[in-house]
Amino acid sequence: MAYFIQQLINGLTLGAIYGLIAIGYTMVYGIIGMINFAHGEIYMIGAFISVITFLVLQSVGMGFVPLVLVVMLIASMLFTSVYGWTIERIAYRPLRRAPRLAALISAIGMSIALQNYVQLTQGARVKALAPIISGGMTLFEQNGFEVRLSYLQIFIIILTMALMAGFSYLIDRTPLGRQQRACEQDRTMAALVGVNVDRTISTTFVMGAALAAVAGMMVTLYYGVVDFFIGFLAGVKAFTAAVLGGIGSLPGAMLGGLLIGLIEAFWSAYFTIEYKDVATFSILVLVLIFRPTGLLGKPEIEKV
Amino acid sequence: MLKIEGVHTFYGQIEALKGVDLHIKQGEIVTLIGANGAGKSTLLMTVFGNPKCRQGRVVYEGQDITGVPAHEIVRLGIAQSPEGRRIFPRMTVYENLQMGALPTDGSTFEEDIREVFDLFPRLEERRNQRGGTLSGGEQQMLAIGRAMMSKPRLLLLDEPSLGLAPLVVRQIFDIIKKINEKGVTVFLVEQNAFHALKLAHRGYVMVNGVITMTGPGQELLANPEIRAAYLEGGH
Ligand SMILES: Nc1ncnc2c1ncn2[C@@H]1O[C@H](COP(=O)(O)OP(=O)(O)O)[C@@H](O)[C@H]1O
Ligand SMILES: [Mg+2]
């Protein structure tokens, strides 16, 4: 039981991170009907920016942890957003009326270009980071096994919950969120009622990138290492999470992320760690066979 | 108020409008009738610059609006209830109406929505229902109501009677009349020529992307050619 709860905690932490990345996939898909294959790289860039910010803060002798975290968070969200915005402008907007395949190829090209760009400017080697948030608490002990909840895990889970709550509010309740939903449901009509569709799409990329940046920073803190290639697997998994939850659905992305995190944690704990990715993708296949629209996806039947 | 001058609009190589001229004066109800595929919807969308016309001009209150982006048009005082109604299906009635309002009108929102609910009490009853689950008639009311939320001076309506029961059609046409009496100029595109011509001050007939006839509504209604083509045995 204790072991199970420990895996639950680990899985939720991981799942929170996947969920944050998955939101970016699902929102962009919702609004332009395209998978942004460069989104994993956006997350990787977010991770790098948080490392760089940390190193800069360290070199100026700033050591107060809460402040360091806030500055890292803001800097990575801000700069990563600029990347997200730029990618949309140069790789996707010119192809808005082109066939889907063209945009897809552009996305893959963008993803490779960003990987190479980071590899060239930051080097191919892994960057390591000393733990910033350390320590934790023992929740309880059973048969000599301690269930640990680290302060970092608390930080990740609480920050994720806060972001998701704020984000859901933004989408459901604010004029900006309404404009985004309008563009998602009918772009032509949105323009007729006065929505600047291009700007709304840009905003969506910016928001997705900001959340991916937070995920990047969390992973940096959690694993303590980053390299230029981390975007690939994380991207594929978050994309899987988005599809599992139902692509286009925000709660779906969050749920999908949590499920993938949990599957990975439990599979690694009870079976073999080598096959955890296989397990994840097998479950995706099974879900798609029995529920092609994903767990919370909306079936496309509507009266018009 | 609105002048369409020599407008040619293309979809790729297909020329949907082949030099259209028409004008609408302040306070009028003007109708445009024509068979399916004549180019009526294309004309309304050309006013919004989507698609843009390749030749010709759209002039609104003396201002050339030909190159103005679609999302700016509504701010000039033109609103459209488009073909197929295009309700945002996963938004509630209330949210659809919020979408219709201009962001700059925040302070008068409550009054504006009150006015729409007075025109369409049905929408108030359904305010929390999702647009996609409304009946056809309710969706049409919502499409017009949403357009009215921007307090337009010129209202473009694309086949509001399409697919509706006769009783509902009568209701919708009564409301169009009421809207016009409030001072809103109406440009009504219809295949339901009988109702449209009866209501309108003036009418135009479009065939294959060109205007073939124009005149007062009653006159067109009495015209034997029009009777043969659009009224008898027709819709
Ligand atoms: N999006 C489009 N792409 C290509 N052709 C179109 C498109 N929309 C309309 N058309 C063509 O333009 C012509 C006029 O269509 P439309 O304006 O919808 O006519 P109406 O509203 O009078 O029924 C038709 O021949 C139609 O097939
Ligand atoms: Mg039409």
- Interface predicted TM-score (ipTM): 0.94
**How many CB atoms are located within 10 Å of the residue B10 CB?**
16
- Which bin fits A279, alpha (ψ -120 to 50), beta or left (φ > 0)? alpha
Do B137 and B172 contact (CB within 8 A), yes or no?
yes
Length of chain B, in residues? 235
B-chain residues within 8 Å CB-CB of A191? 48, 50, 69-71
- DSSP class of residue B230? I
**How far is the alpha carbon of A304 from chain B, nearest alpha carbon, in Å?**
7
- What is the average pLDDT value for chain A, to the nearest integer? 91
B-chain residues within 8 Å CB-CB of A180? none
Residue A128 lies in a domain: yes
Is it the case that residue A131 has pLDDT exceeding 90? Answer: no
Structural domain that includes position A157 = 20-231
Task: Please calculate the CA angle A26-A30-A33 and round it to the nearest 5 degrees.
Answer: 105
Gap between the Cα atoms of B122 and A240, Å rounded: 43
Q: How many domains does chain A have?
A: 1
Q: What angle, 0 to 180 degrees and rounded to 10, lies between the N-to-C axes of helices B93-100 and A175-185? A: 100
Name the percent of chain A lying above pLDDT 90.
67
Gap between the Cα atoms of A150 and B216, Å rounded: 80
For range A43-52, the mean pLDDT: 96
CA B34 to chain centre: 14
3-state SS class at B15: strand
Give the closest residue (by CA) to ligand 1 atom 27: B37
Rg (CA), chain B: 17
pLDDT at A136: 86
Q: Could you report the per-residue pLDDT of A250-266, keeping only the tens digit for each?
A: 899 999 999 999 999 99
Residue A253 lies in a domain: no
A residues 183..222 contacting B (CB < 8 A): 185-186, 188-197
- Which bin fits B86, alpha (ψ -120 to 50), beta or left (φ > 0)? left
Give the closest residue (by CA) to ligand 1 atom 24: B37
Residue A79 lies in a domain: yes
Written as six digits, the tokens of A204 are 């969506």
**How far is the alpha carbon of B222 from chain A, nearest alpha carbon, in Å?**
35
Gap between the Cα atoms of B89 and A204, Å rounded: 20
Cis peptide before B51 (omega within 30 of 0): yes
**How many CB atoms are located within 10 Å of the residue A25 CB?**
27
CA B138 to chain centre: 16
- pLDDT beneath 50: ranges in chain B: 234-235
Beta bridge pairs of residue B80: B156
Cα–Cα distance list, A277 to A11, A44, A177, A265 (Å) = 14, 19, 34, 11
On the CB side of A127, CA atoms within 13 Å amount to: 25
Contact (CB<8Å) A196/B71: yes
More confident position, A117 or A143: A117
